[in-house]
């Protein structure tokens, strides 16, 4: 088609869109502005079904998520032709159909990533495709731009391909990253539009299929913790996990739950005050007025990292188990009537291998024989420390201390 005669410019976004995410929408918005596009078509590919370890979305589901994502963008249109087409779908067929449907008044701009650009001449009938559409290649972070320019020049020479580069600088999001986060039980609302987020949850997409309950992906959690915590805190977290799992096995507590709670116990420790209060609110959890007043009066908002950690465990890591959430929430202050898992996490945090304080060896020995006695000694050590460093004692910690020492069992 002769682009001089074309009055209208049509952008084409192809891909599996499994799922569509905010990056796709932002790239389409960018291309619309930068290249004066009148309309952008989102064309999810058809895809031969094959077995995977997580449940991928079907064609209808991918179409539906695209429709939800483009709501509010009158110039973005979802095109279902490739999902509907039987058998393997090829871009060359799609382009021919589009040409018939739109006629000579339209010039097409196929929007691709620069990774695709480098292999694009392996597309079926690429010489024909190159005659039917121009390309907008969107730079990705870390691209060797000179090399890409050479690649574009070669395609131009060999096939007459017309390639433009787009310097979109938005967040780098991938569908794989979204699927992995969902599979490990985390939240993806920062990466996908709200309506898509809701759709993924309602339709239980991207969950592990083997065992519906096994959404605690400790490897994925550990990787995330490594990214958000300081190296020292991360190492402390791993040592707390080791100690917690050992104690759990010794005292007949669920080792998976101990591992989960220990890994996440300090996940909010490095958050700012506002961030902690925010995540607690978002999770629909509450901190007592007494505790908030205690923090305010003594300027010690740090103790909120317990409840904030439980809130983040719920929202960011998808933990729903009340025992795990309780153990995280109370690991700093402690409270009367703690459960077995609460006790394991509280003590593992204080006794893990990297800790050193006078008398720790005796307490480590004691806890191997009696969890409650170990707990009592740990709480006592905490009290001593607060007194020595002239810090206030929270009523809940005091109540635990009294329960452990002065209640007749
Ligand atoms: Fe902590
Ligand atoms: Fe800790």
pLDDT at 49 over 60: no
Section 8-24 average pLDDT: 95
CATH of segment(s) 8-183:
3.40.50.620
Calculate how far, in angstroms, residue 52's C-alpha sits from the geometric centre of ligand 1: 38
In this prediction, what percent of the chain has a pLDDT beyond 70? 93
Find the ligand nearest to 235 CA.
2
Section 325-347 average pLDDT: 97
Q: Return the pLDDT at 51.
A: 38
Nearest one of 239, 238, 243, 245 to 259, comparing CA atoms: 245
Give 217-247 as a 3 state SS string. CHHHHHHHHHHHCCHHHHHHHHHHHHHHHHH
Find the ligand nearest to 240 CA.
2
* pLDDT, averaged across the chain: 90
Calculate how far, in angstroms, residue 345's C-alpha sits from the geometric centre of ligand 1: 10
| Residue 208, beta-bridge partner list | 54
Nearest one of 166, 154, 90, 170 to 118, comparing CA atoms: 154
Calculate how far, in angstroms, residue 270's C-alpha sits from the geometric centre of ligand 1: 10
The C-alpha angle 258, 260, 262, rounded to 5 degrees, equals 65
Calculate how far, in angstroms, residue 241's C-alpha sits from the geometric centre of ligand 2: 10
Q: Return the pLDDT at 47.
A: 64
SS3 label, residue 116: helix
Question: Domain-by-domain residue ranges, the chain?
Answer: 8-183, 218-406
Q: What CA–CA distance (Å, rounded) separates 176 from 19?
A: 9
Which stretches within 120-254 are classed as H helix? Answer: 126-132, 145-159, 175-183, 194-202, 218-228, 231-250
Q: Return the pLDDT at 141.
A: 82
Calculate how far, in angstroms, residue 264's C-alpha sits from the geometric centre of ligand 1: 10
Section 235-261 average pLDDT: 95
Calculate how far, in angstroms, residue 352's C-alpha sits from the geometric centre of ligand 2: 9
pLDDT at 169 over 90: no
The C-alpha angle 173, 175, 180, rounded to 5 degrees, equals 105
pLDDT in tens, 351-403: 999 999 999 999 999 999 999 999 999 999 999 999 999 999 999 999 999 99
Find the ligand nearest to 351 CA.
2
Q: Both ends of the chain: CA-CA distance in Å?
A: 89
Q: Return the pLDDT at 316.
A: 87
SS3 label, residue 8: strand
User: Would you call the peptide bond into 363 cis, given omega within 30 degrees of 0 as the criterion?
Assistant: no
Q: Return the pLDDT at 90.
A: 85
Calculate how far, in angstroms, residue 237's C-alpha sits from the geometric centre of ligand 2: 6
Least confident segment among 71-80, 208-217, 263-272: 208-217
Q: What CA–CA distance (Å, rounded) separates 187 from 197?
A: 9
Find the ligand nearest to 328 CA.
1
Q: Return the pLDDT at 31.
A: 97
In this prediction, what percent of the chain has a pLDDT beyond 90? 71
Phi, psi of 175 (to 5 degrees): -65, -35
Q: Return the pLDDT at 46.
A: 79
Q: Return the pLDDT at 52.
A: 46
Calculate how far, in angstroms, residue 266's C-alpha sits from the geometric centre of ligand 1: 5
**Could you tell me the two tokens for 346?**
């509280």
Calculate how far, in angstroms, residue 330's C-alpha sits from the geometric centre of ligand 1: 9
Sign of CA dihedral 47, 109, 141, 172: negative
Task: Give all strands of the β-sheet with 163-166 in edge-to-edge order.
Answer: 76-78, 39-44, 8-15, 106-113, 134-138, 163-166
Q: Return the pLDDT at 86.
A: 67
Nearest one of 402, 226, 260 to 331, comparing CA atoms: 260
Calculate how far, in angstroms, residue 350's C-alpha sits from the geometric centre of ligand 1: 9
Q: Which CATH number fits domain 218-406: 3.10.150.10, 3.40.640.10, 3.30.565.10, 1.10.3210.10?
A: 1.10.3210.10
Calculate how far, in angstroms, residue 268's C-alpha sits from the geometric centre of ligand 1: 8
pLDDT at 315 over 70: yes
Calculate how far, in angstroms, residue 332's C-alpha sits from the geometric centre of ligand 1: 6
Find the ligand nearest to 233 CA.
2
Q: What CA–CA distance (Å, rounded) separates 66 from 59?
A: 11
Calculate how far, in angstroms, residue 366's C-alpha sits from the geometric centre of ligand 1: 22
Calculate how far, in angstroms, residue 265's C-alpha sits from the geometric centre of ligand 2: 6
Q: Please report, for residues 40, 65, 80, the alpha-carbon distance to residue 71 in angstroms, rounded to integers and kept in the order given.
A: 13, 10, 16
- Categorize the per-residue pLDDT at 54 as very low, low, confident or very high, splitting at 50, 70 and 90: low
Find the ligand nearest to 238 CA.
2
Q: What CA–CA distance (Å, rounded) separates 369 from 356?
A: 20
Calculate how far, in angstroms, residue 240's C-alpha sits from the geometric centre of ligand 2: 7
Calculate how far, in angstroms, residue 309's C-alpha sits from the geometric centre of ligand 2: 11
**Could you tell me the two tokens for 117?**
């650009």
Calculate how far, in angstroms, residue 244's C-alpha sits from the geometric centre of ligand 1: 14
Phi, psi of 205 (to 5 degrees): -75, 155
Nearest one of 360, 365, 349, 339 to 306, comparing CA atoms: 349
pLDDT at 5 over 70: no
């Amino acid at each position: 088609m002769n682009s001089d005669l074309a009055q209208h410019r049509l952008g084409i976004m192809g891909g599996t869109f499994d799922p569509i995410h905010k990056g796709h929408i932002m790239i389409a918005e960018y291309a619309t502005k930068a290249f004066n596009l009148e309309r952008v078509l989102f064309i999810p590919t058809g895809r031969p079904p094959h077995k995977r370890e997580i449940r991928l979305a079907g064609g209808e589901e991918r179409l539906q998520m695209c429709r939800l994502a483009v709501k509010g963008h009158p110039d973005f249109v979802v095109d279902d032709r490739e999902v509907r087409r039987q058998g393997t779908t090829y871009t060359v067929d799609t382009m021919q159909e589009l040409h018939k449907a739109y006629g000579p008044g339209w010039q097409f701009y196929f929007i691709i990533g620069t990774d695709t650009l480098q292999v694009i001449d392996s597309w079926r009938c690429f010489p024909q495709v190159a005659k039917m559409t121009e390309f907008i290649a969107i730079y990705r972070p870390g691209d060797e731009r000179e090399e890409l320019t050479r690649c574009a020049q070669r395609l131009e020479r060999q096939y007459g391909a017309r390639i433009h580069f787009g310097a979109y600088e938005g967040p780098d999001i991938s569908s794989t990253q979204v699927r992995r986060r969902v599979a490990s039980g985390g939240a993806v609302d920062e990466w996908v539009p709200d309506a898509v987020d809701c759709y993924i949850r309602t339709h239980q997409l991207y969950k592990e299929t083997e065992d519906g309950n096994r959404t605690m992906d400790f490897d994925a959690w550990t990787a995330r913790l490594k990214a958000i915590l300081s190296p020292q805190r991360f190492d402390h977290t791993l040592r707390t996990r080791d100690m917690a799992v050992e104690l759990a096995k010794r005292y007949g507590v669920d080792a998976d739950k101990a591992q989960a709670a220990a890994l996440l116990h300090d996940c909010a420790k490095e958050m700012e005050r506002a961030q902690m209060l925010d995540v607690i609110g978002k999770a629909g959890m509450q901190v007592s007025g007494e505790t908030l007043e205690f923090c305010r009066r003594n300027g010690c908002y740090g103790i909120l990292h317990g409840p904030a950690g439980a809130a983040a465990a719920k929202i960011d890591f998808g933990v729903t188990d009340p025992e795990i959430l309780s153990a995280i929430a109370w690991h700093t202050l402690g409270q009367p009537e703690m459960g077995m898992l609460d006790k394991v996490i509280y003590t593992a945090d204080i006794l893990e291998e990297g800790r050193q304080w006078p008398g720790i060896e005796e307490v480590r020995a004691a806890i191997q024989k009696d969890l409650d006695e170990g707990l009592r000694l740990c709480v006592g050590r905490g009290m001593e420390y607060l007194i020595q460093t002239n810090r206030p004692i929270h009523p809940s910690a005091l109540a635990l201390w009294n329960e452990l020492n002065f209640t007749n069992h």
